[in-house]
Amino acid sequence: MGEFIKIENLCHAYASSQDEQVLALDHIDLTITAGEFVAVIGTNGSGKSTLAKHLNALLLPTSGDCLINGLSTTQPENLWKIRQLVGMVFQNPDNQIVATVVEEDVAFGPENLGLPPAQIVERVETALELVGMSDYRLHGPHLLSGGQKQRVAIAGALAMQSQCLVLDEPTAMLDPLGRQEVLQTVKELHASSGMTVVYITHFMEEAAAADRIVVMGAGKVLYSGSPVEVFSQVALLKELGLDVPLAAEIAKRLRENGIDLPENIITDEELAVALCP
């Protein structure tokens, strides 16, 4: 597996209301291999959403470089190709749906690529099937739940045959059922197609589903490791104002009270199995 995303010494500065330069990203180095599922966590203001917008060149580096499949976002001639490679799903489902019928919304991207109609139809059908929304293809998006709208947004990226999906807090505005629906869709997509996934979230239970978690704070990458490695750093995460999954917290407290439990418990299921084998 080669490098799909390579970020080198990336800085992103913007002018504050007092006209001072604020560093939202501060000399970041990060590599994500093709097919990896990476979650990015951090409190508000940590730079995680700013980072997400660099991955399909919605923002450009103030200095440093962001390479997507070897293409630098700093070269204007690469932008069209990069945006085909990387599909974005944002926080608010209502802000990213452009058509009045689900299948037309999913067809929007491929139509802009100028593909022949038969190919567009095929891509739309495949994409809706992959996210489990085929039955809703003739519905108006306004009739859908938040979770269903996000699945349509994901289908839009799949119809572009994006090789990487970047989701910027896609469940922040959803209820628990919608959150579960979106995360399950992303997990299934990653497992079946092996596409590269960058999932930005402030829900630790969602981050636990990734292969690797990147912890951000004050515009820097502070820590990177597997979910078990990251969530065993309870003190560090608490200091940053982040939680650990409830199961990890309970397991830690039970271990402190002399109950023999494995160190790698981070999900409710793992805790249940350890307590009731």
Tens-digit pLDDT profile for residues 171-217: 999 999 999 999 999 999 999 999 999 999 989 989 999 999 999 99
Predicted confidence band of residue 19 (pLDDT cuts 50, 70, 90): confident
Interatomic CA distance for residues 267 and 264, integer angstroms: 9
Task: Please report the domains of the chain, with CATH numbers, ordered by start residue.
Answer: 3-244 (3.40.50.300)
pLDDT tens digits, 209-267:
999 999 999 999 999 999 999 998 888 898 999 988 888 889 989 999 999 998 888 88
What letter would DSSP give residue 226?
Answer: -
What percentage of residues in the chain have a pLDDT greater than 70? 100
**Cβ(182)–Cβ(153) below 8 Å:** no
CA distances from 274 to 66, 139, 207, 226, 263 (A): 43, 45, 21, 20, 11
Measured from the Cβ of residue 137, the count of other Cβ atoms closer than 10 Å reads: 18
